[in-house]
Structure 1
Amino acid sequence: MTVKLSDIADQAGVSVMTVSNVMNGKHARVSKATIDRVLEIAERLGYVPNIPARSLAASRSHIVAALVPVGEEGSLLFSPHTVAVIGGVERHLRHRGYHVLLRGIERDDEIAQTIRGWSLDGAILVEFTDAQIDRIRIDGVPLVAIDSYSANPRTIGVRTDDHRGGWLAGACLAEAGHRRVMFAGPPYEGMGVVGQRWDGFRAACVAAGVDASKIVREEVLTSFEDGRALGLRLLRDHPDVTAVFATADVLAVGIMAGVAEAGGSVPGDLSVIGFDALDISGYTTPGLTTVAQDMDAKVAEVARIILDEIERGEGPRAPVSLGVRLIERGSVAAPRR
């Protein structure tokens, strides 16, 4: 026999509306004791929510997509940062009664197709370039773009203060005495995430007296293997460089591995700073000095904005920029040469 909300309400001694609020994650006006009692009874009775019926009644699908760009015939191979973002957002939305659809996007037109085809309540854009976001022409559906500097009024950007993060890295290396430094990050156009980090890094180095001509840039994809490949040749190809700022922890860890494999040491032969402060930054020997972004605050803000847009229809708002801080470990030291 199908268990209904009224069955749970009768046993819990509360209204059907209260049971509905509990089952849909709306706990603001319900006591913890009541929540626990309703959930216990629902589990004991074997209650299974009718998702299509709930969506039809509310004129919502209760589905939010996490869209990630992939190449043709590519797979969803995420960076550790993207895993942390999607995992954190899914947790917040799940607790509010929403489901997250993970979808790879090969072509720009697939964004609109996915939103309309799945009757999505909203979408979160992860790892899209600003140029891709600029081209989006979808109205009527909330769109939150993570780490975006796009001026597209159809999207709301949630990002870290990347310029400040680059500045902290440059200032740290300059204060340690480094005067020949490298910036390692992926190719970019305009002043998006990587451009902001480069600009802040360069500005801090120059302000500390580093000759701008001594700041080397290496374009490298954000992966461990690409970082390792750079690390294997870095000391040979750039014998004067004594420190590197990598735009992501996974890239920095790869560089450290490559340097060690080539017979060098960190920080003896090369100082390294990463960006993100993900768990992997604490697993290396020595520990990776890194620019920390507040990932918990970031995913909470993304979830808050998308839910406010869906449930309250607040409309477009200004982009949100979150602060950063430097975590100093053992990968930075004064140069030996």
Structure 2
Amino acid sequence: MIEEGPPQHLRKPRRGDLPIATIAELAGVSPPTVSKVLNGRPGVGDQTRQRVEALLRDHGYRRRQASGAALCIEVVFHRMLPSIAMEILRGVQEVAHANDHTVGFTDVHRHVLAGAPWAEPLLARQPTAVITVFSLVTAEDGERFAAHGIPLVAVDPIDDLFPTPAVGSNNWSGALTATRHLLDLGHRRIGVVTGPVKDLSARARVDGFRAALDSAGVPFDQSLERRGVFTVDDGRDLGAQLFARPDPPTAVVCGNDLQAVGVYAAAWEAGLRIPDDLSVVGFDDVDQAAWLAPPLTTVRQPFGEIGATAARLALTLADGRPPAQERYELGTALVIRGSTAPPRR
């Protein structure tokens, strides 16, 4: 492995006089390749390694003795449901351990609340790669990690982070399948409760919902759409708005399972029985979905495989190889339980 040389005037801690991105440009390689050389990892040709090592030495870095520190993939969360977080971590861990890496876990909620930068501790630890599972990550964050030779992979980002690669599920297809299920049961007046308009996954789910209606020749009623955030409180409030209408929906497609829980509460307060008076479909298939009364019909996201895919992608980038594609969308599955039934005639 290589580390910085003796301190020099104005040199930043743990860094030479040029950032890794500049060294990569001078060497004609990618920043992850420089990171591999810097950390003594295999997968770099001898001539390339010698060229990069020469540049590192010229700019204040020197090889250090192996410390025995384990190679690590860091996973960053922000206010994530424990059941989802554990599934993603399980998938990451399976791939990481098979490649002799450990897995680190960071929740940046306190950093965000305090208005403190969340990336600095990760940059200081110099992990092999970082996987982010929170909405506040930006394209600039990806550029910053790349400049330090640390690949960044985003799970289900709310916006386009090009060139940072992303992994998620096929939200459009999942919502399409859920809505078709209700249409097949005979529902025609279907409401939709979804997340913020800026959220890529929320937009894709609404688009899938509308596509199912269009395919069935059912006009989309804008008055039955409610947008909020993916919380129980918003599901309850937005559901109550729908049920207070003189012509309420006979079914509701929810943006996620938390909103569906809120819709359950709103239905109970409005004197509606599920599924006799109202059918409800969620999205995610969190553990709580099967515990509701009645159990929730929902779209299952493969969170374990999402984590595994993100880890494989992160290690590919760390090896200096470009990804085969910029965004990976995994298939979803509709889990039919007791919250959906034909509408009452």
Deviation for aligned residue 1:211 = 1.2
Distance 1:177 1:186, change over 3 A: same
Shift of 1:58: 7.2
Cα deviation for residue 163 of structure 1 reads: 0.9
Is 1:115 the equivalent of 2:122?
Answer: yes
Alpha-carbon distance, 1:85 to partner: 4.3
Q: Which amino acid aligns with 1:117?
A: A
d(CA) in 1 for partners of 2:213 and 2:86? 30
What residue identity is the alignment partner of 2:180?
Answer: A
SS at match of 2:166: strand
Query: In the alignment, is the contact (CA less than 8 A) between 1:188 and 1:194 conserved in 2?
Result: yes
Q: CA deviation at 1:181?
A: 1.4
Mapping of 1:280-291 within 5 angstroms?
280-291=288-299
Q: 1:165 to 1:188 in 2, by over 3 A?
A: same
Q: CA deviation at 1:102?
A: 0.6
> Counterpart of 2:321 in 1: which secondary structure?
coil
From 134, 140, 146, the counterpart of 2:139: 134
Shift of the alpha carbon at 1:153? 3.9
Evaluate the alpha carbon distance shift between residue 259 and residue 150 of structure 1 in structure 2; reply closer, same or farther with a 3 A threshold: closer
Residues 208, 223 of structure 1: alpha-carbon distance in 2 compared, 3 angstrom cutoff:
same
What runs of 5+ residues in structure 1 fail to find an aligned partner?
A: 1-54, 70-76
User: Where do residues 21-100 of structure 1 align in structure 2 (5 Å cutoff)?
Assistant: 57=66, 62-69=71-78, 77-80=79-82, 82-89=84-91, 91-92=93-94, 93=96, 96-100=100-104
Specify which structure has the bigger relative contact order, considering alpha-carbon pairs within 8 angstroms and separated by 6 or more residues. Answer: 2
| 1:213-265 residue CA offsets vs partner (Å, 9 max, x unmatched) | 36621123212233234444542246421111111122212311331244221
Shift of 1:142: 1.1
Give the whole-Å Cα distance in 2 for the aligned partners of 1:238 and 1:280: 31
**Contact (CA 8 Å) 1:179, 1:214: kept in 2 or not?**
no
Aligned to 1:74: none
Report the TM-score, using the length of structure 1 for normalisation. Answer: 0.71
> How far apart, CA to CA, are the structure 1 residues paired with 2:324 and 2:246?
45
Deviations 1:28-49 (A, max 9, x none): xxxxxxxxxxxxxxxxxxxxxx
Relative to the length of structure 2, the TM-score reads 0.69
Which one of the candidate residues 118, 131, 136 is aligned to 1:124? 131
Q: Is 1:155–1:316's contact at 8 Å kept on the other side of the alignment? A: no
Distance 2:202 2:192 in 1: 10
The answer as to whether partners of 2:274 and 2:339 remain within 8 angstroms in 1 is yes
Tell me if structure 2 keeps the 8 A contact 1:67–1:124.
yes
Give how far 1:81 is off: 5.9
Aligned to 1:226: 234
Say yes or no: does 1:209 pair with 2:217: yes
| CA contact 1:66–1:86 (8 Å) conserved in 2 | no
Residue-pair matches, total: 272
Once the two structures are superposed, residues 182-227 of structure 1 have per-residue CA deviations (whole angstroms, 9 ceiling, x without a partner) of 111221227x111111101111012112112366211232122332
RMSD: 2.9
2:193 paired residue number: 184
CA displacement, residues 146-169 of structure 1 (integer Å, 9 cap, x when unaligned): 113754344221111111011111
2:92 and 2:308 in contact (8 A); partners too: no
Q: Distance in 1 between matches of 2:311 and 2:83?
A: 17
Would the alpha carbon gap of residues 264 and 121 (structure 1) be closer, same or farther in structure 2, given more than 3 Å must change?
same
- In the alignment, the residues of structure 2 paired with residue 85 and residue 315 of structure 1 have an alpha-carbon distance, to the nearest angstrom, of 26
Amino acid at match of 2:139: D
Partner Cα distance (2:167, 2:211) in 1: 24
Look up the match of 1:102.
Answer: 106
Q: Single out whichever of 324-333 and 86-95 deviates more from structure 2.
A: 86-95
CA contact (8 A) 1:224 1:253 kept: yes
CA drift of 1:175 comes to 1.5
